[in-house]
Amino acid sequence: MHIGMKNFLAAALSVCFQIFAGAQEPAIKGVPADVYYMMPSFGEGMIYFRGQGPAQGKLNICAVDNTLRFIDKDGGEMIASDTDNIAMVRIDTVSFIHDKGFFYRMYPVTGDMGVALKRKVRIAWDTKKGAYGLSSKTSSIREYSTIYSEGAVYNLNEDKEYPYEINETLYFYNDGEVLLLTAKNLKKAFPDKKQEIDAWFKAGNPVPEKVDAAVELLARWAK
């Protein structure tokens, strides 16, 4: 049963929420909501804390400042100012592991292991459109012309007011910890596959840069 915002706050005693008073809304700045946030829209979700019960609410995660957001009973956007005690957040059917102060999108391979996607968006708030002189709209946002997410393609060559850039890095999570995709860490995660992992890296194979490739690789060693 959905609990109200008062019960939400009561359940989340370790988290101090304050009214979001940061930059203007993404739509005003010309940054699409599905770029500014980790999810295309706020969705029903759960916050899982370490050492206490979960909290429920309408949630999203900001990809610019890596903050957890929720919608209060009056429809206002709120921001979590203390997230140290959060272990994981689930929004709709998507989960995010919280490790070392960052929210990573989870792509499960086994029950407690999978690919972790770290996504950061940088917006040049102090650089208005046209500040690049004669440069094109494509060059004003570096070389990012499209972003692929869940099979959809978003066109970034829009007539926006501010340029922005997107950086996505793949890691993997194992038993609640996020780790770099290195031979050393992978051998710790798969101790019975050390020879296979060494052989794979010695063959000159690069660390996967796409989620599907990383999931496929981990699944092979997880068998």
Q: Are residues 48 and 113 in the same domain?
A: yes
**How confident is the model over 182-212, as pLDDT tens digits?**
999 999 999 999 999 999 999 999 989 899 9
**How confident is the model over 105-138, as pLDDT tens digits?**
999 999 899 999 999 988 876 655 444 333 233 3
Task: State the pTM of this model.
Answer: 0.74
Q: DSSP label at 38?
A: S
Domain span at residue 219 reads: 181-223
pLDDT at 150: 41
Q: Are residues 101 and 141 in the same domain?
A: yes
Distances (CA, A) of 43 to 12, 84, 147, 155, 165: 18, 22, 21, 23, 25
Q: Are residues 93 and 128 in the same domain?
A: yes
Q: Are residues 172 and 187 in the same domain?
A: no
Q: Are residues 185 and 115 in the same domain?
A: no
Q: Give the pair of three-digit tokens for residue 83.
A: 């997230």
Q: Are 172 and 179 in contact (CB under 8 A)?
A: yes
Q: Are residues 59 and 16 in the same domain?
A: yes
Distance separating alpha carbons of residues 59 and 67, to the nearest angstrom: 11
State whether the Cα torsion 57-18-33-152 is positive or negative: negative
Considering only residues 36 and 133, tell me which one the structure prediction assigns the higher pLDDT. Answer: 36
Q: Are residues 190 and 140 in the same domain?
A: no
Q: CB neighbours (10 Å) of residue 169?
A: 13
Q: Are residues 210 and 115 in the same domain?
A: no
What total number of domains does the chain contain?
Answer: 2
Helix, strand, coil shares, percent, the chain, to 5 = 20, 35, 40
